[in-house]
Amino acid sequence: MTSIPIGKTDAHFSGHETFPLRQMWLKKAVDKADADGLLTKSTFSDEKAIADFGVGRNMVASIKHWALACDVIAEDDSRRHFFLTSVGRAIFGDDGFDPYSESPVTAWHAHWCLAGRGTRATTWYWLFNVFSAQSFSREEALPTLTKYALSAAKGKKLSQATLSRDLDTCLRGYAPRAASASVEEAAESMLAELGLLQEERKGVFSFRRGPKSTLPDAFFAWALLDYWNNQRRAESSLTIEAAAYAQGSPGRVFKLDEESVAERLFALADLTEGKLRWSDTSGLRQIHRGDFDHELLMSKLLRKSYDQ
């Protein structure tokens, strides 16, 4: 896996074996956990893995990559095991919110982990937060990604082929190549159902901005809190501009227009029992938060996302 330290986070440009995230792969990883929620490292590497997962060796490695990148499993302190995260259990457990990935909320969550947090998915974060073109070809995007990656690498060498494969995998995850992709691959792409990216004509892509009908207000609020906690923890208020346009913000990651963001912010007080409040005083539009248990509120919002 190609990785580069960026601040406290490693930037990753491979690990998926060029397979975009498929519909049932996260569930496959969760199902391999024992009663204590643990998975040995050998789950994904020993001779039985191919038979256990029912896919080829490279796909097994890809399933592990996506399960880690989508916050379904994580490495324990001993570095000998993986364990199910609380979100992994909540969504994909046998009694979970959506064990078979039938709800679009599950795809929105995967997209947020990849493009909002960028953990193990630097190209995904770059595409939705840093790259500014509305319509683009792969050939136009690759030099910009290369420049971003080289800056992050701080002089370390990066393979152009690795970056090219990473960009292809990212784009195909949201907009499968209908003509050349297998029927199975096109049908099973988890992120394609979100409609965030479309291939206008061969090799030319564009973002779909505006309201997202399958994105519940409760999950928007969940993502807003996640962004707030990870990137603006010390701030007690957040402007609408930050929520709509800042890198890593829900407005930017979900490709929402400002009006759509504002409408969702109006609903925050009811959704959070007043823990998040919208105000518009002297033309300053912002969200305020008080003291509360953030983990508990996010857990409630995730549950509500699947109930909406």
**For residue range 84-127, what is the model confidence (pLDDT) as tens digits?**
999 999 999 989 999 999 999 999 999 999 999 998 999 999 99
Q: Where are the domains of the chain?
A: 1-8+103-208, 24-100, 217-307
* pLDDT value at residue 9: 52
Parts of the chain with a pLDDT under 50 = 1-8
Domain range 24-100, CATH architecture: Orthogonal Bundle (1.10)
* pLDDT value at residue 1: 43
| CATH code of the domain made up of 217-307 | 1.10.10.1420
Helix/strand/coil (H/E/C) assignment for every residue in the chain: CCEEEECCEEEECCCCCCCCCECCHHHHHHHCCCCCCEEEHHHHCCCCHHHHHCCCHHHHHHHHHHHHHCCCEEECCCCCEEEECHHHHHHHCCCCCCCCCCCHHHHHHHHHHHHHHCCCCHHHHHHHHHCCCCEEEHHHHHHHHHHHHHHHHCCCCCCHHHHHHHHHHHHHHHCCCCCCCCHHHHHHECCHHHCCEEEEECCEEEECCCCCCCCCHHHHHHHHHHHHHHHCCCCCEEEHHHHHHCCCCHHHHCCCCHHHHHHHHHCHHHHCCCCEEEEEECCEEEEEECCCCHHHHHHHHHHHHHHC
* pLDDT value at residue 2: 45
* pLDDT value at residue 186: 53
* pLDDT value at residue 272: 96
* pLDDT value at residue 183: 52
Q: pTM value?
A: 0.93
**For residue range 75-86, what is the model confidence (pLDDT) as tens digits?**
998 888 999 999
* pLDDT value at residue 136: 97
